[in-house]
């Protein structure tokens, strides 16, 4: 496999930033479908794909979300053309026979574990949400992933019927002309890595 050109690495990682101010350019449903079709291809344990995404576009749905946002997250979230609630399905293992057909018993690896697969589901759903961020950047969208909201309130408001559990929010759109913060430092290799 060849390395991506530097322009792609810049777009995905080196120049990419968390965006807090979005232009009012709408995002079509077809773009969100395309985004998911890319993101779903990332690897997860036993191809379990426990990530679920709830895309909020309408003003009415954003008003339902607003009471659960931390005060410093309200303006930027309401301004984003789309807010994705990155979530996971606690019953994700019920889809494993479809997703891992050569070993449908894999469902029980999760379901019969001491925590009913919840740690694995949450971890793999977090991976899925990270894939969504990278896929969004790859197709030219900017992202503003964040915590800073009442998870249990959001779950009651949006997921009472399906039982999904929110993980974090991802504001999606195009960057406005507002200045962005300087990039913050990262740990050096020697601080974060070891080779044995």
- Distance separating alpha carbons of residues 51 and 26, to the nearest angstrom: 24
Token pair 């232009």: residue? 23
pTM: 0.96
pLDDT of the residue at 145:
98
Q: b/e for 84-121, b at 16 or more Cβ within 10 A?
A: bbbbbbbbbbeebeebbeeeeebbebbeeeeeebbebb
pLDDT tens, residue by residue, 174-188 = 999 999 888 999 999
Domain range summary for the chain, segments of one domain joined by +: 24-52+79-173
How far is Cα 196 from Cα 185, in angstroms, rounded to an integer?
26
pLDDT in tens, 10-56: 999 999 999 999 999 999 999 999 999 999 999 999 999 999 999 99
Taking only the tens place, the pLDDT of each residue in 98-133 is 999 999 899 999 999 999 999 999 999 999 999 999
Q: What is the rounded average pLDDT of the residues 81-99?
A: 97
Strand order in the sheet with 51-56: 51-56, 82-88, 165-173, 142-146
* Chain centroid offset of residue 98 CA: 23
Mean pLDDT of 68-73: 98
Using a pLDDT cut of 90, give the percent of the chain over it: 97
Q: Please give the DSSP secondary-structure letter assigned to residue 139.
A: T
CATH, domain range 24-52+79-173: 3.40.109.10
């Amino acid at each position: 496999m060849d390395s991506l050109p530097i322009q792609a690495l810049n777009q995905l990682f080196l120049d990419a930033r968390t965006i807090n101010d979005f232009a009012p350019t709408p995002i079509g449903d077809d773009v969100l479908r395309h985004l998911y079709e890319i993101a779903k291809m990332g690897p997860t344990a036993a191809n379990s794909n426990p990530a679920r995404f709830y895309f909020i576009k309408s003003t009415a749905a954003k008003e339902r979300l607003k009471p659960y946002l931390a005060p410093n997250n309200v303006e930027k979230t309401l301004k984003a053309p789309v807010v994705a609630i990155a979530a996971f399905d606690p019953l994700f293992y019920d889809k494993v026979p479809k997703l891992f057909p050569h070993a449908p018993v894999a469902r029980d690896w999760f379901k019969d574990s001491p925590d009913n697969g919840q740690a694995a589901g949450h971890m793999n759903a977090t991976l899925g949400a990270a894939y969504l961020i990278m896929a969004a950047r790859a197709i030219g969208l900017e992202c503003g992933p964040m915590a800073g909201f009442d998870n249990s309130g959001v779950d009651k408001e949006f997921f009472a019927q399906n039982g999904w559990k929110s993980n974090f929010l991802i504001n999606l759109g195009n960057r406005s002309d507002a200045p962005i913060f300087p990039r913050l430092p990262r740990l050096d290799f020697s601080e974060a890595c070891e080779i044995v």
